[in-house]
Each structure stands twice: as C-alpha cells, then as structure tokens.
Amino acid sequence: MSAATLQSPAARPGTSPLVTALFRAVRGLATLLAVLAAVEGLVVVLNVKPWYVPRPTLVLNAILATPEPYVQGFLRTLTETLMGFTSGAIFGVGIAIVFFRARVLRELIFPVFVVSQTIPVIAFGALVVLWFGNTLIAKAAISFYLTFFPVTVNALLGLESVDPRQEALMRSFGASRFQLLTRLQLPAALPQIFVALRLASALSLVGAIVGEWFGDTVGLGVLLLQGMYNENVVAIWAAIAMCALLGTGFYAVVAAAERALVFWGAEQ
C-alpha cells in the first residue's frame, strides 16, 4: 500500500487549499444531513415521544416560525464570544511569553491561575452582575476567564519545546531577544497554541452562554434557559442547533486559520 492512499484526501499534495476546504465543508454538511435524516426517520418509525427527541423538522420549524430571536441571539452571543476569545487569546499568549521569560513570575503567579480556573463561575452570578453590571463586558469577561488559561498552558509548552541548538545558533548570529521570539519561538509554539485556540473557541462560547444566564434578555443562553425552564424540548433543541452552528462555524474559522498559519510555520 502506498503512502498516498493512507493520507486523508485533504492532505493529498497538489490540491489547492480552497478546494480542500470546500471538499471538507461539503463532506461535513452531507454527513450532518444524513445524520439528521436518520434521526427524523428513527423518531417517526420508533414513535419516540417529542419530549425525549423531537423530529429535526419540528426544530427547524420552530426556528423558522420566529427567526428574529434566534438571529438576534446568534449575533449577540457571537459578539460576546469574539470579545472573550480575542482578549483571552491575546492575554493567554502574552502572559505565556512573560512567564517564559521571567521564571520567577511564572512560579509566583501560575499556581494562582491554576486555582482561579478551579472556580465554577456559575456560582457567582450575582458577583458578576455586581462587578460588571448587565453589560456585554460581563459576558465577555466570563468568556475571557474560561479562554485564557488553556492558551497560556499550551503557548508555554510550545515556547519551551524550542530546540536549544536552534536558539544557540540564532544567538550566535546576533539575534536579539525580540527576533528570537518572533522568528523562532513563537512560530515553533504556533501548533501548540492553535490546539489551545481550537479548544478555546468552544470554551469562549460556553462563557458567553453561561454569562447570559445572569439576567439577560437577548442571546442563545437566554433561549436555552427559557426552553429548559418551560420544558419545551423543541425550543431547547432549536437553541442547541444555533449553538452548534455558531460553535462549528467558529471552530472551522480557527481551524482554517491554523492550516494557513501552521503550514507557513512548518515551512520556516
């Protein structure tokens, strides 16, 4: 068996990245549709009660009946997610560089970070409202809080994985610390950072949604909560579907950025 047949089609050399991306998207969509059709069929055939699993078409109808809150909720949650993700990613990488450079700070602060991550934010709904009010910032702050830590951990891991010989080589050519960082260490850490960013894309969404549980009027989290409380399983699934759409889309964007950037990183 040749090596080429073992590779996934996406990795086959000679195909343009755009075609590959399209291929992946179509493939994913087809899988999704097949799964949905299967669920629809199973629910009808097995006569599953709608309060366990509703038919996917029922869920779709619910969204189409009142599209406005779903669209608004999607956009609002997206904004919060992006705010939290961006700030979390920047802070995460930034603090990783600081920790990497200053071991004292790392040893002093890292444990505090670890401890901070062990606190379930949901227990402090009232505190979040007290500190940040009913603003977008409050949601973004929770999103940030969930996002930055994995990024810090992985970025640090990536920075430390740099081959000391390469570092010595660059130093011998008179590279400055900044050059060392931008030319060698960060590119080397990029694959690790992106693993964390992909995780963070999901976590930042969790943060935004949980944040909306602390008394908000618009957002996917609000829709989820409303469905949950009214035991409206169709509404829960409709909200879950919107979350999935947002999450998958965001994840795909991050993954695409990874392919573009890490590919370049590997070329270095």
Q: Determine if 32 is a binding residue for another protein (CB under 8 A).
A: yes
Query: Where does this chain touch another protein (CB under 8 A) — which range of 39-47, 89-97, 171-179, 210-218?
Result: 210-218
Site for another protein in 96-125 (CB under 8 A): 104, 107-112, 114-115, 117-120, 122-125
d(CA 62, CA 238): 7
DSSP string, 192-260: HHHHHHHHHHHHHHHHHHHHHTTT-SSSHHHHHHHHHHTT-HHHHHHHHHHHHHHHHHHHHHHHHHHHH
Q: Determine if 219 is a binding residue for another protein (CB under 8 A).
A: no
d(CA 111, CA 38): 48
Binding another protein (rule: CB under 8 A), the pick from 225, 256, 261, 265 is 225
Q: Determine if 198 is a binding residue for another protein (CB under 8 A).
A: yes
**What x-and-dash track marks residues 61-100 binding another protein by CB under 8 A?**
-x---x-xxx------------------------------
Binding another protein (rule: CB under 8 A), the pick from 19, 130, 169, 253 is 130
Binding another protein (rule: CB under 8 A), the pick from 217, 253, 260, 264 is 217
d(CA 250, CA 72): 17
Cβ(132)–Cβ(138) below 8 Å? yes
CB of 241 to another protein, least distance (A): 9
Using only C-alpha atoms, the chain has a radius of gyration, in whole angstroms, of: 22
Q: Determine if 45 is a binding residue for another protein (CB under 8 A).
A: no
Q: Determine if 213 is a binding residue for another protein (CB under 8 A).
A: yes
